[in-house]
Structures are given as C-alpha cells and as structure tokens.
Structure 1
Amino acid sequence: MNNSETQKKDDVRFRVAIVGCGIGGLALAATISQFVTEEKSQDGIIQVDLYESKSEVSVTGAGVGIWKRSWQVLQGLGFEEDLVKRGVKVPVDGESRGPIFRKSDQPTPGYDFHDHVMPYGPLGLHRPTLLEILQSKLSKDCTIHTSKALVNYTVHAGGNNATVTLHFADNTTAEADVLIGADGVYSATRQTMFNGLFKETGNDEYARYARAEYSGTLAYRGPVPTDKFKEKYPGHMAANRPKAWCGKSQHVITHPVGPYIGVIVYKYCFDLSSSPTLARYQNQTVVPSSRDEVLALCEGWEPELREVLGSIDSDPSKVSCWVIHTVNPLPFCVLGNVALIGDAAHAMQPHQGVGGGQAIEDAHLLGRLLAHPKAALATTSKPSTLPAILKLYEALRLPAAQKAARASYDNGLMYEFNYPGFVFGGETSGTSVTEPDASSRGPTPKELKLLGERIGDSFAWLKEGDVEGDWGKAEAELEKL
C-alpha cells in the first residue's frame, strides 16, 4: 500500500484510519457505516480504512460480557436478529443468577458466603461470533487491510487541515484525516502519542502513559471435559453453576459451558522476579502452562476445588497463563486528530467483565459523532471541527470507562480478601500483599456475609442503560460547534 491508494475521492467528506480490527475497531467502523450512507447523507461519504497487524481478522481472549448498555448498542446495529438466527440466547431485562462465592483457601471443605444475583441478564458472547457479525455490518466504504502493523504515525499540520501519515512495519505508509487507535493494551498509537509528548516536554509521566503496565495479576486458563468430570464426580457443585472459589490474594472462577467447564485461576503476584518460576512471565502476554502447575497454585485449598483442577485437560496445549496488563489512567485520549478507544485508552482488569463493553460504547459514541453533519474538514470560511468533536468524545467517554476500570479492579480485591475494610489473612501495602503471619486471621462468617453484600452492590450499575440519553447530551454539545 502507498499514499496514492488512500487519496480522497471527490465525494469523500474525510478519511478515517482505524488501527486494529478487534471489538472496538470493527464496532466503530460498523457504527460509521450505519449512520453515514450515500443515501442518508448529502455531504458525502466517510472513507474508512481498517489496518490489522495480523494476516487475517482473528481473535484471542475470553468471551465478552454484554451488559445492558453494550447490548443497546448491538441491538441498534441489528445484532438481535443475527444472534437469534444462530440460536444464541439474547440478554433480558431483570435479575439473573450469577456465580456462588465460596471461601476455599483451606484444606477442609469451604463454605458459600454469597449467592450472586446479577442485576441484569447479561450475554456471554463468543468473540469470533461478535467479530463476524460486526464485519457483516461494514459498508462498501470500509476497507480492511491485513498484515499492516503500525509502527508510528506523524502529523502534518500544514494548510487548513491536519493530515496523519501512518507508518507500517512493512515500510509502507497511508494517509488519513483522522486516526483512531483501537490497537489494544500495547497500542502503538498510544505509544506514539505519549512518547512524542515525553520527548517534547521531558515529563516522565507521559512515558508512563505510553506503555502498558503489568497489573499484578496472572490468569491461568484450562478446560475440564464435562462428561468425564460428571462421571468421576457425580453431583459435584462445579458442574451446574458458576462458582467463585475465593482465597487470600487468589481466586478461581469455574463456569460450565456445554462440553467443558471453564477454569480460570487468578493469582496476585506483583513482583514476578521474586520467583524463578514466575520470572519467565516477564515481558510475556500468554505463556504455556500445565495442569500440574495450576494444581500447585492451589496447594492446601479445599478438596472440592482440587477435584476440579485435577480434572483439567491433560493436553498442555490447552492450558495457558495470561499475563494481564493494563493502562495507567490517562489524562486524555485525544490529541489533535488522533484518538484512542477501547483497551488502547483504558485496558482494565477482567473482574467485572466490562472491558469489551466499554470498547463497544466508545465506538458507538465516537462513530455517531464522526457521522454527524457537524463533523467536517476546514473550508475557506470555517475551521475543521474534527479536533473539537474528538475532544467531545473524550469528555463523555474517558471518565466513564476509567470508572468502570476502577470498579473492576476493586472487585478483584474483594474476591481475594484485600479490599479496604475487608482485608483478611495479611495486610495490603501499596501494590503488594504481605504474606500472612502468626497474627493473621481469616474472615468470620459475619464478615464474609458483609463482603458478599458489597460484591452484590458493586454490580448494580450494570443494570443501567441509556445510550440514547448519552447521545442526546453529545448532540446538544455538537450544536454549539
């Protein structure tokens, strides 16, 4: 690809480059496609080019939790009919049963302390299905370019309109009027934005925002074949309901999913270099693991949990450790004609299952803003509105997403007895957790009951949903431009 391939046609209002064909990038392109068509707009089309670093649009990661707000967005894109055709149960209003929380970090049988009732019946959507449907919503004005790994970008501010040149690893370039970084937690777009500011100002904080940070959490994943497990352990509590097996600085989630029971062991370990075994995870994203390694993590935990872990598929290729990275809360996610969405702007821990939904909400609002007739390049009589429109997106979405990230982080502390006011079995200190000592004690049943209530309350915000109301606020601000 070269610059000539992305030159504007006469009927193009402006060109949008989206780096990353994950949830956020595809949802943004689908939203622009929905709200700008040649039939709907007499101002011309928006040319959208999506750049994917891999050789095809593929997916890694777990399923995506679709709560009320993100479901409203997907409904607007026509997802309900597509999912029904695939036999997928769609989300419903009203309460639904979530996992049962259980204290498990002792060699004797544990006990349940919270039967979680979720405030909304969310959908756990398979990522490949989500991406496949999103791709089907793209208009003919959207083009996906694969094997295009962004290295950096440069901004040219000459004339009335700034343009952005994207530089790829294969030594090709492309031009756009707006660049959207939807390129995940290790975003090259974010690195270019903040490292550039660091070089200009010498402010170390900008360098910190540029890079992804290890979150202090490892997530070990592996499947348990359901039929074999039920045959060996008939009536086992893990076979029919999701369970959260909680302990000090570690917790395990098990969830039945048809032919297998999914297992995720979340381990708090902020300093990987402190252990020769864990040191191999430094600077890694996903590394191979094994059933024996997972079992060793829960040495001394209750027998019922160890029965589950001992039943994880023995095939090492099916067991992995995910090194969870996050993004430090950014002071902004827009600079000129460049914006960040999804994990590039606010990658978070997974303990409320809202990261994918936040990317969908980012894409919905930004897509509608860009599609609005007020979004325009400069003319001889008017300056470009694009920087102001991107800043409006930032003002409405960044604080909300960062609040969701904090809620997800807090839930992880609760599940592992490290939340302020509910610290058991050791004390927290900054970003580390000390080992239990002789004076440490576990939580009492009364304390766990209160903790369970706090966990239940932490999910209350997920039943709220008014994306149209949010759009109304954005539209009112647009009229001031």
Structure 2
Amino acid sequence: MDDAHAVVVGAGIGGLSAALALHRRGWRVTVLERAAEPREIGAGLTLMANALHGLDALGLGPAVRRDGAEAPGGIRDRQGRWLSRVDGAEMIRQLGTAALGVHRTTLHRTLREALPGSVLRTSAEVEHVESGPDRAEVRYRGADGPHTLTADLVVGADGLRSRVRAQLFPRHPGPVYAGSTTWRAAIAFPEPVPAAISWGPGAEFGMVPLGDGQLYWYGALNAPAGGHAPDELAALRKHFGGWHAPIPAILAATAPGVVLRHDIHYLAEPLPSYARGRVALLGDAAHAMTPNLGQGAGQAIEDAVVLGAVCADGAEGVPAALAAYDGQRRPRSQAIARAAHTAGRYGQQLRNPFAVAARNTALRLTPGRAALRGMARYADWRPPAG
C-alpha cells in the first residue's frame, strides 16, 4: 500500500477502534483528541455479541474477555420478580458468545495500547475539516498553536456534539433530549450479582458485574433536562432505596464522589449519509442513540471494523470506499437507533400503571428463547470477510 494517511478526530472507543482497524490495514494514522489526557468518561458497559465479534476482528477479543465478566442478563420489576431471563448457554449457541460486562476505562486502555504511541495527539482542538477530490485537510489548534494536516481520509469520531458532523451537515438540528437522565458508577462490590435491569414506573436500575469484585450500576428516571441535585447519591437513594435487593446495598456501597449524572441525548433526525467526499462519520457522531439496547459502543465498533475493511486498498478508492461504508452501516445502525428509542418508551419511560402491568405480563408469558431471538436481531452481526 502507498503511504495512505488517515486522520481520526476523537479518541473515544469508536475513534480508537477506527484507528486500529485502519492501522491493521496498513494505513498511517493520526488521532486528534481535544482532551489533555486520553480517557473514556463513564463507568461500565455491556458488550453484546456483535461488539465482541468486532473486537475479535481487531485482534483484541481475548484481552477484553480476560478483563470482563459474562453478563447474560434479564429483566425484573422493582420488587425483584423476574419478568424475563436470558439463558447464557442458549445465547452462546445462537450468537457465538455471551454478553460481557467491562469497565469503559479498561476497554479504552486496551484499544489505546494496541496502537503505536506516536498515533495519538492530545490537546488537539479540531477547528475545520475540508474534503477535496484528492486530499482532505484538517486544521486544529494544539497546545503549541495552530496546525494543518493533509490526509487521504478523515474520520469524524468526535461524539454526540460532533464538530465534524456540524461541518458536513450544517442544517442538521443535532442531538435532542430523550426525556431521561441517568446516574452511573463502577464500585467494589464482592457479593455475586446477576446482570439485570429492573423497571418501575418511569424508572430503571441496571447492574452489570465487571469481574474482580467490581460492579457497574446505573439508574435512569424520566426528568426535565438539565436537572441537578445537591447530593445526587441521596436523590438516587430516595427513589431507588426501597427497590429489591441488592439495590439498596449497592447504593450504600457507593461513594458520592464516583457518581456521574448525564442527560440522555440522541439524534432524532437521522443523517442522510455517513460520508462526504473523503470524510466519514462514525459512532455517536453518525448515529447517537439512547442506551436502551446497550448498542452504542457496539455500533461504533462495527462502524470501525467495516471502515477498515472497505478502505483496505488504500488512498485511491476512498470516495467509493466511503460510499460502500455508508451503504453497509447507515441502514443497520439507524434501524437499531430507532429500535433503542422505542425500547426506551416501552421500557424505562413507561409510566401508566395499566400499560406497565400489561407489558410486564407480556414479558412473563414470552418464552425465553423467543425473547433471545428478539435481542439477536441486533446482536447477531459478523465482521466482513477479509
């Protein structure tokens, strides 16, 4: 391959996955990260089978599995009664692997360490991206002043409020509030805990074991945008403290300083394309979705693997390669984004007591294999050959 150069804007999970996918295909890669230190904000996440197959394609599957914990999952009501459970063995039979709970920081470090150290430039605030017929240009401001890079490919992996997306689609309205706010933390909790989400009216509490006595938990509530409490943990205990065990114990084991609170935003208006010229969008920059199917990170990893595959021939065919990337990724990721929003409306956000009772009864009556087949529609993905 010629000295094909890609600039990736953003060093989150999606950006680093894209950098690694391109690097393994022979590209010279530069990753621009506006933060002074590369890090992943958040606590934990669940990697479904599709994300794990993508990490396998990047050569990181064994390392990630070693650092995580299997989390087949299920759904309960706030009294702790199971509404639906996933059979781990059946999940492996259908999808080839169990779901995995992993700390975001651990996954981020694994991706970062798989790349050459010279790839990442921090304190790099991208100001402008421009795509020409033969080359693209990225202007950014670093700690030592302004810089300009030329590239054969630019990847906008700069998250929910993507500057690259705003430049490619200036009339797009951007992310909107989904109607829910969420609290998250990863804590030491040696007691065995099954992966599960629990639903109450307009509320959800989730717990995912991360291995080595670590637990990721989150709570979500219907709420106005922009809310804050003087003591966020106390506010959580007030709402969830009367829910089933071990939720009160989990909150009691949590230090106030580790709790993160974020409103949930998503792209309600889908983009018309994930590529323009020699610039591609990836992850939240392309299809920010609500977390109700646990597919945000998985879809970013899928994007990265497909981008690396379509760009395997180097710089000459980039526009055609990005058209293929858009054709493969946009229909699937936008369908999953729609499904995640719908899942939230009929899951965490549902408040009407009659509707809640009907939903819970329907879940109890649905056979486990049928429920797993429904989930497999989103998690059953394999990387492209080659």
TM range (shorter): 0.7 to 0.9
- Given candidates 117, 122, 129, the residue that maps to 1:153 is 129
Q: 1:222 to 1:130 in 2, by over 3 A?
A: closer
The reply on whether 1:388 has 2:320 as its aligned counterpart is yes
Residue equivalent to 2:299: 358
Alignment of structure 1 residues 166-245 onto 2, 5 Å = 166-168=139-141, 170-195=145-170, 206-208=171-173, 211-222=174-185, 226=189, 239-245=192-198
1:458 maps to a residue whose letter is G
1:294 maps to a residue whose letter is L
The reply on whether 1:425 has 2:353 as its aligned counterpart is yes
**Inter-partner Cα distance in structure 2 for 1:192 and 1:457:** 40
Q: 1:186 to 1:307 in 2, by over 3 A?
A: same
Residue equivalent to 1:35: 25
Conserved 8 A contact 2:336-2:378: no
How far apart are residue 56 of structure 1 and its match? 2.0
Alignment of structure 1 residues 221-300 onto 2, 5 Å = 221-222=184-185, 226=189, 239-257=192-210, 258-269=212-223, 271-272=224-225, 279-280=226-227, 289-298=231-240
Conserved 8 A contact 2:58-2:305: no
1:358 maps to a residue whose letter is Q
Normalising by the residue count of structure 2, what TM-score does the alignment of the two structures yield? 0.84
The reply on whether 1:88 has 2:67 as its aligned counterpart is yes
How far apart are residue 179 of structure 1 and its match? 1.4
1:217 maps to a residue whose letter is S
How far apart are residue 403 of structure 1 and its match? 1.7
Conserved 8 A contact 2:11-2:157: yes
How far apart are residue 24 of structure 1 and its match? 1.6
How far apart are residue 364 of structure 1 and its match? 1.0
Residue equivalent to 1:477: none
The reply on whether 1:342 has 2:283 as its aligned counterpart is yes
Paired residue secondary structure (1:332): coil
Normalising by the residue count of structure 1, what TM-score does the alignment of the two structures yield? 0.68
2:343 maps to a residue whose letter is N
**Inter-partner Cα distance in structure 2 for 1:117 and 1:266:** 25
Residue equivalent to 1:372: 313
Q: 1:222 to 1:57 in 2, by over 3 A?
A: closer
Conserved 8 A contact 2:18-2:304: yes
What is the total number of aligned residue pairs between the two structures?
A: 374
**Inter-partner Cα distance in structure 1 for 2:7 and 2:359:** 55
How far apart are residue 80 of structure 1 and its match? 4.1
The reply on whether 1:316 has 2:222 as its aligned counterpart is no
Q: 1:443 to 1:295 in 2, by over 3 A?
A: farther
The reply on whether 1:112 has 2:82 as its aligned counterpart is yes
How far apart are residue 396 of structure 1 and its match? 0.5
**Inter-partner Cα distance in structure 1 for 2:284 and 2:28:** 24
**Inter-partner Cα distance in structure 2 for 1:246 and 1:153:** 44
Q: 1:310 to 1:360 in 2, by over 3 A?
A: closer
1:248 maps to a residue whose letter is P
How far apart are residue 148 of structure 1 and its match? 0.3
Q: 1:288 to 1:15 in 2, by over 3 A?
A: farther
Paired residue secondary structure (2:262): strand
Identify unmatched segments of 5+ residues in structure 2: 93-97
Residue equivalent to 1:103: 77
How far apart are residue 462 of structure 1 and its match? 4.7
Paired residue secondary structure (2:218): strand
Residue equivalent to 1:61: 42
Alignment of structure 1 residues 119-138 onto 2, 5 Å = 119-120=91-92, 121-138=98-115
**Inter-partner Cα distance in structure 1 for 2:139 and 2:20:** 22
**Inter-partner Cα distance in structure 2 for 1:456 and 1:289:** 38
**Inter-partner Cα distance in structure 1 for 2:245 and 2:227:** 30
The reply on whether 1:399 has 2:314 as its aligned counterpart is no
Conserved 8 A contact 1:222-1:312: no
Residue equivalent to 1:382: none
- Given candidates 352, 364, 381, the residue that maps to 1:449 is 364
**Inter-partner Cα distance in structure 1 for 2:380 and 2:304:** 19
Residue equivalent to 2:95: none
| Max Rg structure | 1
**Inter-partner Cα distance in structure 1 for 2:167 and 2:160:** 13
Q: 1:73 to 1:324 in 2, by over 3 A?
A: same
Paired residue secondary structure (2:67): coil
Q: 1:137 to 1:399 in 2, by over 3 A?
A: same
Q: Percent identity?
A: 25
Identify unmatched segments of 5+ residues in structure 1: 1-10, 37-45, 196-205, 231-238, 273-278, 282-286, 377-384, 428-440, 472-481
Conserved 8 A contact 2:180-2:264: yes
Q: 1:306 to 1:56 in 2, by over 3 A?
A: closer
Residue equivalent to 1:416: 348
Q: 1:102 to 1:332 in 2, by over 3 A?
A: same
Q: 1:171 to 1:451 in 2, by over 3 A?
A: farther
How far apart are residue 444 of structure 1 and its match? 8.2
**Inter-partner Cα distance in structure 2 for 1:288 and 1:178:** 46
**Inter-partner Cα distance in structure 1 for 2:6 and 2:381:** 29
**Inter-partner Cα distance in structure 1 for 2:321 and 2:295:** 25
Paired residue secondary structure (2:343): helix
Paired residue secondary structure (1:371): coil
How far apart are residue 180 of structure 1 and its match? 0.9
2:261 maps to a residue whose letter is C
**Inter-partner Cα distance in structure 2 for 1:426 and 1:446:** 11
Question: What is the root-mean-square deviation of aligned Cα atoms in Å?
Answer: 3.2
**Inter-partner Cα distance in structure 2 for 1:291 and 1:223:** 13
How far apart are residue 309 of structure 1 and its match? 6.1
How far apart are residue 146 of structure 1 and its match? 0.9
Higher relative contact order (CA 8 A, sep 6+): 2
- Given candidates 77, 82, 88, the residue that maps to 2:58 is 77
